[in-house]
Amino acid sequence: MASNSLTNTNISETYVGVLHANGAALPPLPQQEDIYDGFGNKSALKVGRAGAGIDVDGTLGASFKAAIAEAIYPVGSVIFSQDNNNPGTRFTGTTWTQISEGRFIAGTGTGNDGTEAKTIPAGNDTIGKYNHQLTTAELPSHGHEAKFSGGGSVSLGGDTIGVGNSNNGNDRLSNDIVQNTGSGTPHNNMPPSFGLYVWQRTS
């Protein structure tokens, strides 16, 4: 029978009674064996040989959760989720902050779409716009129809065209109008989207 306390006790004298597999060898794959404490009580653990893994019956303790979080999600890691539950409620002792709200995710580094290269720095949320109003330089090369109205005539390339009114004996163009179109409204830059909560571990 094992001692109630391991104080001043050599582990080599009591390890068989502290945690054991009922005194039997571990079973072949894929079976697992119940683990007992030193008083013959079945514990919450079941273990097997390499490949059979370990099962825990019941709720994981805070220390175990913290160890998992540290191994899988070290500080700086990011989690995507469809619910808005802060991961800190699942992983005791960790702190998480929601990031990238309303922002699309892009891989950090330099990419090339075949026409130009762009570099995305880590953590930069100042790139891009939801809507963009085209500048003159961004418009495709194009022309407009010119309409003229009025009386008189003017010589264009050797041809006399009646388009003006006489002013002090000289023919002139009047009400010459290049037709305008468009409203200047910014266009939508957003692609089809699927919203997720983005959480980053900060401590």
Determine the pLDDT at residue 145: 65
Let me know: does 132 contact 186? Beta carbons within 8 Å: yes
What would the pLDDT profile of 108-165 be if each residue is shown by its tens digit? Answer: 999 999 999 999 998 888 888 999 999 989 889 987 766 555 555 555 555 555 554 4
What would the pLDDT profile of 82-118 be if each residue is shown by its tens digit? Answer: 999 999 988 888 999 999 999 999 899 999 999 999 9
Where exactly are the structural domains of the chain? 8-58, 145-178
Compute the distance between CA of residue 40 and CA of residue 19 in angstroms, rounded to an integer. 9
Let me know: does 2 contact 14? Beta carbons within 8 Å: yes
What would the pLDDT profile of 16-42 be if each residue is shown by its tens digit? Answer: 445 666 666 777 788 888 887 777 788
Is the pTM higher than 0.75? The answer reads no
Let me know: does 187 contact 134? Beta carbons within 8 Å: yes
